[in-house]
Structure 1
Amino acid sequence: MNSDDIAVLANPRAGRGRHRGLLPGVLERLGTSGRTVRLLGADSAESAEKACHRAVAEGVGALVAVGGDGTLHRAVQAVAGTPTPFGLVPAGTGNDFAAGAGVPADPLTAATAIAAAVREGRSTPLDLARITTGRGDVRWYGAVLAAGFDAVVNERANRMRWPRGPRRYDLAILLELARLRPRRYTLELDGVDRGCTADLVAVGNCRSYGGGMLICPDADPTDGLLDVVVAAPLGRGTLVRLKPRLRSGTHVDDPRVTSYRAREVRIGAPGIVGYADGERVAALPFVVRCEPGAVRLLV
């Protein structure tokens, strides 16, 4: 793979497969850049990530991810902190980083915009969040880190084999609501102790997660800061009623919800596995740091 090639990571299962037929059109649009477009082979999330790392190490001219936030998460591990330009074609269920980064929502339009950016040699620097786990492992994310009740629900849903689709997540919510308990968090923001007892904690580089829920409604991936949203113990009923307000971001008006901004976040809590861009990372504690301009987005 040479420095003129565009390497493409595509997830045919993204968005429950509804964009499967669009891939040939996306590749054709990318080809209007005048570059050779090469599809990366991968049969698992782990092999997809390795393929992206290989392409970047070989000096590929650009890396493009076609899929949702899960596909983005795998690809961004390879381009973060490198000069390799990155393009994103939103074709998943959520597409939260794409929305926060100003990527066109239509996949073909996004591919056309990427091709134009490649031809013109331009890219836009965007922030990423860098997680260091308690074991010293490093993971990057673009949208939001879930580290509260939402993360617990994700962990439960991932252990369930039935039902399939969105209903599994809904059932996981009900099961976890039945055993809801506030947790004590160690939370340090730029060296200031903000330790608390909370039901919900999220650390956002972008505004939304879960397909448009504006958990961090004021987050901006160009400001060099992370937005931290903390919901104090709410109880089952209030937590359920709060969920619809996430769609509009008005939950932050509740006096029990507190918002902060910080460059570095240190967070820990017992029994919490963090999820970033919807992907399982590791058990807390984490150090999360905003890295300004860590990715060069083709948009």
Structure 2
Amino acid sequence: MLQRHIGPFPVSAIGLGCMNLSHAYGVPPLPEQGRAVLQAALDQGVTLFDTAALYGFGANERLVGPVLKAHRARITLCSKGGMTGQPTGAGGTLQRVIDGRPESLIRDCEASLQRLGTDVIDLYYLHRWDKAVPIEESMGALVRLKEAGKIRAIGLSEVSAPILRRAHAVHPVAALQTEYSLWSRNAEIAVLQACRELGVAFVAFSPVARGFLPGTLRDVGTLPDKDIRRAMPRFEPAHYADNLQLLDRAGGFVDLAREAGCTPAQLSLAWLLAQGDHVIPIPGTTSVDHLGENLGAAAVTLGPDLLARLDQLFQPAAIRGARYNAANAAEVDTETWA
């Protein structure tokens, strides 16, 4: 497997995002299926695994931890705090809460360590910047966790270039994670370049556009009731039908994948790998077959002409619908196109 770097860690150029083994896209797969995907990733050379306290309100960490425990010396284990499920109301129902206060981050990290069954998390992200808490205060807590040997490196998720620079002034940030794909190119406004300048790895989540770019999701009406894509404007039926034309028209994405001699999913990931040596995609999947397909993207080489045509096809103005609805957009600090 091609290697890249996150801070002090050499990692596989394509990692595994573990979220959808427990969270977000309707009913998650059975635990044994999730363990099979994790084991297949290990067998095929993946050394970067990404989870979070939020995913399944701890269930994902409990799934991932035991499978990876015997391999800790050869993998980079990543998790996130600052956005967790907290009990609310008399019934104790868990609700997503963004809380970047130092005491909360220390609590979150301790809980993640227990669920993962490890003494240290290699890369620990602030999952969301809590805009009620100065980033410097949240970073201070992460630095203390590092000094205590609880984490080895610090990451940020879904923040803008100015917030990254403020955080990096407190302590070097090893990685910034945000959504990045051909149909979500907000990172190109500023933060991708800021990462390059500061020596920060850029970890791209949803690199195949939450199932859009592979072209297998044709009817968004079939999405499960609790699938998070139902609340995303790009997946509204009218917008989605327009977006599908980018895949299907003559000279569109499907034709370009055929020209490149790979699948659309592989073309999506190969394009990301071509955006810079500091870019590391972390596709998620519940399928061992799809995992193998995704990892095959590391062997795909794209020439400058094909890269230019992909760039032109997926200009931000060509995408219909916003990345997040208004409520979710208010929770992140990423730059947006005018």
TM range (shorter): 0.3 to 0.5
Q: Which has the higher helix share?
A: 2
> Under a length normalisation based on structure 1, what TM-score does the superposition of the two structures give?
0.32
Q: Which has the higher strand share?
A: 1
**Which one has more relative contact order, counting CA pairs under 8 Å at least 6 apart?**
1
